[in-house]
Amino acid sequence: MQIRFWSFLILIASITFSCDQCKDVNCLNSGTCVDGDCECLDGFSGTTCELEDKCVTGNVSCENGGLCQDGACACEDGYSGDSCEDEDKCITKDIDCENGGDCEDGSCECLPGYFGDRCQYFQTAVSRDDFLGDFDVDEDCTTGTYAYSSSVTAGSGSNEIGISNFYEVFSNNVIATVDGYDITIAYQEPDTAGVFVSGSGSMNEDMDEITLEYTVSNSTTSDDCSGVWTRN
């Protein structure tokens, strides 16, 4: 009986001591005192859970190599936004436009007369004769894909060219006008057979490839085409 009495007293003392351990402990930020120590929620630390890691409590997720610091994303160069989600491609791609060009969305916008991915080239005058020569044609039309040969010869006007074997149908040349690198095919009937063509396009800066968009039509149907003339 005496042993049970002393055991009861020890139990009471233990409970009292445990309660006394947390009596003066003030756990902050919803922390809980256990045996005199604060158990903190995720994102909090310190003796009384007084320290907050805002990157954890704010559930901050940084993209594109950004790092969370004090609850906010510190972004790599060229990135911005709350999560570093916005990219300035002019910075991330290290775009340096020359000759007064401006970078917009990762590409250089060049001043008149300049071209190239960095505006590094100056556009010299282009003459009608720069378009002349023999070409291999790859044609992609509504009706199918085709490959054939064609020649570009001088037209009667100083800015006119004649394109032979156009659409691999016309016997006579299709007449086009050139202005700089640009080509315009006015609406015309090359063979007076009720088949018409019109379109436009351009020569590339290396003067070895012509790209044209055009429509061939008659009174009942039409065929829309994209053609690439590659110089032999």
pTM of the model: 0.51
Q: Which of 157, 207, 193 is nearest to 177 (CA)?
A: 157
Q: CATH classification of 128-231, choosing from 3.30.70.20, 1.20.1050.140, 2.40.128.420, 3.30.2130.10?
A: 2.40.128.420
Question: In this predicted model, which residue has the larger pLDDT, 126 or 33?
Answer: 33
* Strand intervals (E) in 59-167: 67-69, 72-74, 79-80, 86-87, 102-104, 107-109, 114-115, 121-122, 133-141, 144-154, 160-163
Amino acid 2: pLDDT: 52
Q: Is the CATH number of domain 2-52 2.10.25?
A: yes
Return the domain boundaries, the chain: 2-52, 88-123, 128-231
Q: Do 88-123 and 2-52 have the same topology in CATH?
A: yes
Model confidence at 94: pLDDT above 50: yes
pLDDT at 81 over 90: yes
According to CATH, the topology of domain 88-123 is Laminin (2.10.25)
